[in-house]
Amino acid sequence: MKKIPIGISSCLLGEPVRFDGSHKRDAYIVGTLSEYFEFHPFCPEVAIGLGIPRPAIRLVKIDNAIRCVGVKDPELDVTDRLRDVAEQQKECHARLCGYILKRDSPSCGMERVKVYAGEQPNRNGFGIFAQEMMRNNPLLPVEEEGRLGDPELRENFIQRVYVFYRWQQLLAEGLSARSLMRFHARHKLIIMSHADYRDLGQLLADLSKANLLQVAERYILQLMNTLKTVVSRSNHVNVLQHIQGYLKKELSADDKAELGEIIERYRGGEIPLIVPLTLLKHHFRKSPDPYIEESYYMSPYPQELQLINQL
């Protein structure tokens, strides 16, 4: 598989573009993720001509509006310029399958950015560029580098990136009712781990050539919103038990008992998700099932990323 195109705040790759000429190189991003992602770096503050080094900026509440202004020179207001540069990047962003932003940045922060009212900040703001970029690209998986340190948030983001990448491939190959139904079938167990998959299935119930594009647009929007929910351990257990049902005629009593015990140990937090999944894969190698073989749940992304090992 070729590398997946991902937008990223330039400083996270080690580019010295911050206001003081420094960077925020992230070892996990530059090391592990760069093996699978083709990064497209961008610094909106440099792009609007602020230079390096440059005056520090921050979010300030002025007359019930959030503005991005200079810390030392409040007359320096770059709010509209940051929104404009996000608008100018729309064509580039449309080719991406995800975006990693710099946390706490008044331009790039995804959430909980400091907003000042007087000198008392509240963490309830959004980076101006980031907010506009996300508004323009509601399907795009977006995350901050700080949150990627959390195993569950990291897995959630990368899973969404790979789902969206497969969707982009589907569109490039040519959307059809058949290909859309197959896409849904292959992701059904992943959807089940996040929510009730029947809601998305209902969208496809009356699929036809006449309404294909409209249904597909509604489907992918609902799917990507559904996948934002971090999967709970109990939801994984439900899916694992559902998959186990496909082996009910093939497993011996001892094998069923062992698999059931492994799933319960995962439920109790004794072992990671990789253990029951590995055991299930072992049994399906002996007793293949076409539906399970097609499903992405067992292998949602390259195993070398080792994300499931930490869940």
At 78-96, the pLDDT tens digits run 999 999 999 999 999 999 9
**In angstroms, rounded to a whole number, what is the distance separating the alpha carbons of residues 197 and 195?**
6
- Token pair, residue 56, equals 């520090």
Write the DSSP symbol of residue 97: S
Say what the pLDDT of residue 94 is.
95
Question: Which residues fall within 8 angstroms of residue 76, CB to CB, at 6 or more apart?
Answer: 55, 57, 69, 70
Question: Which residues fall within 8 angstroms of residue 54, CB to CB, at 6 or more apart?
Answer: 19, 45
**In angstroms, rounded to a whole number, what is the distance separating the alpha carbons of residues 298 and 117?**
49
Q: For 109-125, what is the mean pLDDT?
A: 93
Angle between helices 151-173 and 212-226 (to 10 degrees): 170
> Quick one: which H or E segment has residue 58?
strand 57-62
**In angstroms, rounded to a whole number, what is the distance separating the alpha carbons of residues 170 and 86?**
27
Radius of gyration (C-alpha) of the chain in whole angstroms: 22
Angle between helices 233-244 and 253-267 (to 10 degrees): 170
Say what the pLDDT of residue 310 is.
78
Beta bridge partners, 70, equal 57
**In angstroms, rounded to a whole number, what is the distance separating the alpha carbons of residues 174 and 65?**
44
Question: Which residues fall within 8 angstroms of residue 15, CB to CB, at 6 or more apart?
Answer: 23, 41, 43
Domain boundaries, the chain: 4-51+82-111+126-149, 150-311
Say what the pLDDT of residue 307 is.
79
Residues 185-227: pLDDT tens digits?
999 999 999 988 888 989 999 899 999 999 999 999 999 999 9
Say what the pLDDT of residue 36 is.
95
Structure confidence at residue 23 as a pLDDT band (50, 70, 90): very high
DSSP secondary structure of the chain: -PPEEEEEEGGGGT---STTS-----HHHHTTGGGTEEEEEE-HHHHTT--SS---EEEEEETTEEEEEESS-TT-B-HHHHHHHHHHTHHHHTT-S-EEE-TT-TTT--S-EEEEETTEEEEEE--HHHHHHHHH-TTS-EEETGGGGSHHHHHHHHHHHHHHHHHHHHHHH---HHHHHHHHHHHHHHHHHHS-THHHHHHTTT--TTTHHHHHHHHHHHHHHHTTSPPPHHHHHHHHHHHHGGGTTTS-HHHHHHHHHHHHHHHTTSS-THHHHHHHHHHHHHS--HHHHH-SSS-SS-GGG--GGG-
Say what the pLDDT of residue 59 is.
97
Residues 104-114: pLDDT tens digits?
999 999 999 99
> Do the bridges between strand 120-125 and strand 113-117 make them parallel or antiparallel, or are there none, so unpaired?
antiparallel
The 10 Å Cβ neighbour count of residue 281 is: 12
> Quick one: which H or E segment has residue 209?
none
Say what the pLDDT of residue 132 is.
98
66: pLDDT strictly greater than 70 = yes
pLDDT above 90 coverage of the chain, percent: 90
